[in-house]
Amino acid sequence: MAEKRVMLTEEGYKKLQEKLDYLKSVRRIEVSERLKAAIALGDLSENSEYDDAKNEQAFLEGEILDLEAKIRNSDIIQGGASSDTVQMGSTVVVKDVEFDEQETYTLVGSAEADPTEFKISNESPVGAAIIGKKVGDRVDVHAPAGIIQYEVVEIK
């Protein structure tokens, strides 16, 4: 089965690459040193330091494999070039019709989505609803709190 493609902006791709480089060049060495120190303590059968270090090593290697797969299967999206429709990489201003409140989101792939930075995934309820829409279009978003109606106000 083919691995799922990962949509990334150039910035997101660089961040994943930097994290991978850090994990391989710094964290691997730190964990390896911790493992060596734990082994030096002796009897491994009752050595919790050794068990913790082995668990950390396994977690780290899993994270490295995950990042390598994301990078290998990534498609770089170009920032929402001048377009009159919402697309991957677009920064979009939407208005909650009921409460007349505006939010600005950047539409990115799920691997780099970060609600604290107002980067939402194209797979999220809001992202999926607004992709392909134009200024003035209204969409219904099915959220846990119910249906929220948004209007696309601006596409940057």
Q: How far is CA 105 from CA 22, 31, 66, 147, 153, in A?
A: 29, 38, 26, 19, 12
Q: Does residue 1 fall inside a structural domain?
A: no
Q: Are 117 and 99 contacting, i.e. CB atoms less than 8 angstroms apart?
A: no
In this structure, the answer to whether residues 65 and 127 fall within a common structural domain is: no
Between 46 and 104, residue with greater pLDDT: 104
CA distance 154 to 123: 20
Pair 107, 138 in one domain: yes
65 with 91, same domain: the answer is no
pLDDT one-digit tens code per residue, 26-61: 999 999 999 998 888 877 777 788 889 999 999 999
Residue 55 and residue 100 in one domain:
no
Is pTM beyond 0.75 here? no
Average pLDDT, integer, range 65-70 = 94
Highest mean pLDDT: which range of 37-46, 79-88, 93-102: 93-102
Query: In the predicted model, what is the mean pLDDT of residues 121-145?
Result: 92
Q: Which domain holds residue 134?
A: 85-155
Q: Are the CB atoms for 64 and 22 separated by under 8 Å? A: no
**Residues near 110 by beta carbon (within 8 Å), at least 6 away in sequence:** 6, 7, 121, 122, 123, 124
What is the DSSP code (8-state) at residue 3?
A: P
pLDDT beyond 90 at 151: yes
pLDDT in tens, 2-26: 678 888 888 889 999 999 999 999 9
User: In this structure, what CATH number is given to the domain that contains residue 38?
Assistant: 1.10.287.180
Domain count, the chain: 2
DSSP string, 19-83: HHHHIIIIIHHHHHHHHHHHHHT--GGG-HHHHHHHHHHHHHHHHHHHHHHHHHTEEEEPP--S-
